Chain A
């Protein structure tokens, strides 16, 4: 049985650069969408460019929340439209939770 485990512990999060956070986010997204990370661009729209529906977007946000052990509020996630915006929110939250 898999239990809810912290994947990136606080000391590791403390030294993550913005680029590393972005790279992890792109990797997670590419895994969910089953596509090559090289084809995912920061400015891509989650819906129009990446073809995500609301369920896959929730899965992406959940994976980020789990990976970085951060809390995301429902209100702040509904306005997110691009990968850039998602990465900015996650980066801000990772920095704020340290």
Chain B
């Protein structure tokens, strides 16, 4: 990725500063000398962002007053805390929460007079394009009917469109599935962990897009100087689920069932597993939103971001390596035994 054009040092408020994308955005902004205040919602800032922020401020997406106070005196707001429903079981509730929080953020930004909002969306809002690949305008006129996750993302972008019409400058970034360091809550990287751990008992094929979170973060910094009201796809690498799973197993170990489920069977299986997991807030290996994304997957173009933001995603292998390194660091994956040649003679197995 080419260097960001020169811009005066910005005073930024980062919503979602303890999230996967947010931590990487904080690092990228501070590397360019910008002042980053991270918003936190609980009783204390997350322990792992200590020292990674210039400032930590309490703000809750459900509390407009706290947002306005946190945004006061900021040049720019990065909204990397868009609602991400943990399960795809409550479409009405998830959309209501997403819209309420998004409007709170955008209204507060306008009231606080910030210069720009950079909003982290998702390529999940896209539909199959009229051309070879979906471009930025290839968004369905209606919310996706069969996917809670995609509908939530669609509605949040609709709220952004309303705010733009009201005069707020919002740059929208739509990453593909992110891989890399600081995947604290095991997001897209859960697929990597599941394959290497041998926990994948079923899967469904389709086209997904994967991108290194650090390249996404750098695009956020570049968005500071993008033309007003721009939207950019940051899809990264399009890959079939079958190829992705087998690549992970071959590169890092693990196993993948030979055959994929048919779409209807996969949807039913994902729903069943989420219904079983929800009462105990458990995790599922193959969440419904990933099934939705794979089944609706179509080629996505991020040419505009490449031209205007210098977006140049590193190879998929590097993103996967970074993801595996991260999960070995956190203990989600075991470190491989060192090759005997790397051991001292006395340590080598006899």
Task: Give every chain B residue within 8 A of A59 (Cβ-Cβ).
Answer: 42-44
User: Would you call A3 and B56 a contact (CB within 8 A)?
Assistant: yes
Name which residue of chain B comes closest to A79, CB basis. B331
B331 to chain A, nearest CB (A): 4
B126 within 8 A of A: no
**Is there an interface contact between B44 and A74, defined as CB atoms closer than 8 Å?**
no
Please report the C-alpha to C-alpha distance between residue A75 and residue B72 in the assembled complex, in whole angstroms.
36
A59 to B46, CA, bound (A): 7
Contacts of A3 in B (CB 8 A): 55-57
Minimum C-beta distance from A96 to chain B (A): 16
Question: Is there a chain B Cβ closer than 8 Å to A71's Cβ?
Answer: yes
- Which A residues touch B56, using CB under 8 A? 3-4
Whether A44 is near chain B, meaning CB under 8 Å from some CB there, is no
Query: In the bound complex, do residue A75 and residue B329 qualify as a contact, i.e. CB atoms below 8 Å apart?
Result: yes
Pair A65/B50 contact, Cβ less than 8 Å: yes
Report B-chain residues with C-beta under 8 Å of the C-beta of A65. 44, 47, 50
Is there an interface contact between A78 and B46, defined as CB atoms closer than 8 Å? Answer: no
When distances are taken between beta carbons in the complex, the residues of chain A under 8 Å from B48 are 72, 74
* Contact status of A78 and B57, CB under 8 A, knowing A1-B70, A32-B43, A63-B43: no
CB atoms of A4 and B55 under 8 A apart: yes
CA A79 to CA B329, docked complex, whole Å: 11
Q: Which B residues are in CB contact (< 8 Å) with A58?
A: 46-47, 184
Interfacial chain A residues near B43, Cβ < 8 Å: 31-32, 59, 62-63, 66
Chain A's nearest CB lies how many Å from the CB of B46?
Answer: 5
Interface SS majority for chain A = helix
Consensus secondary structure, chain B interface: loop
A55 / chain B contacts, CB cutoff of 8 Å: 185, 281
Q: For residue B42, which residues in chain A have a CB less than 8 angstroms away from its CB?
A: 59, 62-63
Task: Categorize the interface residue count of chain A.
Answer: 20 to 34
When distances are taken between beta carbons in the complex, the residues of chain B under 8 Å from A53 are: 281
Is A64 an interface residue when CB atoms closer than 8 A count as contact?
Answer: yes
A88 to B49 CA separation, bound complex (whole angstroms)? 22
Across the interface, which residues of A come within 8 angstroms of B336, CB to CB? Answer: none
- Shortest Cβ gap from A61 to chain B (Å): 5
A58-B184, A66-B44 known; A71-B58 Cβ under 8 A: no
Residues of chain A in range 1-41 having any CB-CB distance to chain B below 8 Å = 1-4, 31-32
Instruction: State how many angstroms separate the Cβ of A13 from the closest Cβ of chain B.
Output: 16
Contact of B331 (CB < 8 Å), options: A2, A63, A72, A78:
A78
Task: Report the bound CA distance from A53 to B58 in whole Å.
Answer: 23
B45 on the interface (CB 8 Å rule)?
yes
A2 to chain B, nearest CB (A): 4
B330 at interface, CB cutoff 8 A: yes
Q: Is A54 an interface residue when CB atoms closer than 8 A count as contact?
A: yes
Q: In the complex, are the beta carbons of A62 and B330 less than 8 A apart?
A: no
Most buried by B among A65, A67, A78: A65
Closest CB of chain B to A74's CB: distance in Å?
Answer: 6
Complex Cα distance, B66 from A32, in Å, reads 21
Can you list 30 A-B contacts with CB-CB less than 8 angstroms, sorted by A residue number? A3-B55, A3-B56, A4-B55, A4-B56, A31-B43, A32-B43, A53-B281, A58-B46, A59-B42, A59-B43, A59-B44, A61-B47, A62-B45, A62-B46, A62-B47, A63-B43, A63-B44, A65-B44, A65-B50, A66-B43, A66-B45, A66-B47, A71-B50, A71-B51, A72-B48, A74-B48, A75-B329, A75-B330, A75-B331, A77-B47
Question: What 4 A-B pairs come out closest when comparing CB atoms?
Answer: A66-B44, A65-B47, A4-B56, A2-B58
